[in-house]
Copies of this chain bind each other. A is one copy, B any other.
């Protein structure tokens, strides 16, 4: 397949690198020419920073940009590649955002957190595909199967539920790690000491029901420790973390005691 990448961020980079193994990346578009060039150089593609420069000879256009930029881009992109299949890679953007402007539209959503610094284990990464017509759905499914052992044909609604849950399971849990690091850093205590705890917590949530695995002072309703911890945060001038400590502890307590 001849594939065009719209976007040069983390998702675009990781997708381009893995797709280039079996397919031809024709062009990489980014408003920032240097970003486009950096990715294009990695996958032997042409870098462009004007939508008008899009090469019409492409089978698949992948829009991998921030969710809020998709609806603007699609109108413009569709004009220059009217016959190609165009997909986005977003969890929470409906397929209909593309079909308003373009006939052959689809979704190619990888449920994973991407970093420039880290390799992606594609074979374990769940991929969710959707398309307006069956033929394109088959094309996307086949492409997804080349990358991953976990490919699903999901509706926009199911995908949105997954993305919302992923914000809790990934973005919010990562922020919990970040807050923990801020707390130990402020007292010159080594963050590494928490690694076995972080890994065991993640492991047990994937091997057992996390609700049954809950531990800690909030679950026990230990008011002594809860108020001691909140005072520590207030005395450290971290009213922001104290507020989160309260809200999360209330949530845990209510989950385990109000049934």
Task: List the interface of chain A (C-beta within 8 A of B).
Answer: 10, 66-68, 92, 111-115, 117-118, 121, 124-126, 150, 152, 157-158, 160-162, 164-181, 183-184, 187, 189, 191, 193-211, 213-220, 222-225, 228-229, 232-233, 240-241, 243-245, 247-248, 251-252, 254-255
Q: A215-B113, A247-B243 are in contact. Are A199 and B208 (CB under 8 A)?
A: no
In the bound complex, CA of A46 to CA of B113 (Å): 51
**Cβ–Cβ < 8 Å partners of A126 in chain B:** 193, 196
The oligomer's copy count stands at 2
**Cβ–Cβ < 8 Å partners of A228 in chain B:** 92, 160
Name the contact of A187 in the complex, choosing from B161, B224, B225 (C-beta under 8 A).
B161
**Cβ–Cβ < 8 Å partners of A162 in chain B:** 184, 189, 193-194
In the bound complex, CA of A68 to CA of B226 (Å): 11
**Cβ–Cβ < 8 Å partners of A248 in chain B:** 171-172, 175, 244
Tell me the dominant secondary structure on chain A's binding face.
helix
In the bound complex, CA of A164 to CA of B126 (Å): 34
Residues B206 and A198 in contact, CB atoms below 8 Å apart:
yes
In the bound complex, CA of A220 to CA of B150 (Å): 28
Chain B: CB-nearest residue to A226: B167
In the bound complex, CA of A232 to CA of B161 (Å): 9
Residues A164 and B229 in contact, CB atoms below 8 Å apart:
yes
Could you list some 12 contacts between A and B, CB below 8 A? A67-B217, A111-B196, A115-B208, A117-B208, A162-B194, A165-B183, A168-B245, A169-B180, A170-B197, A174-B201, A178-B205, A178-B210
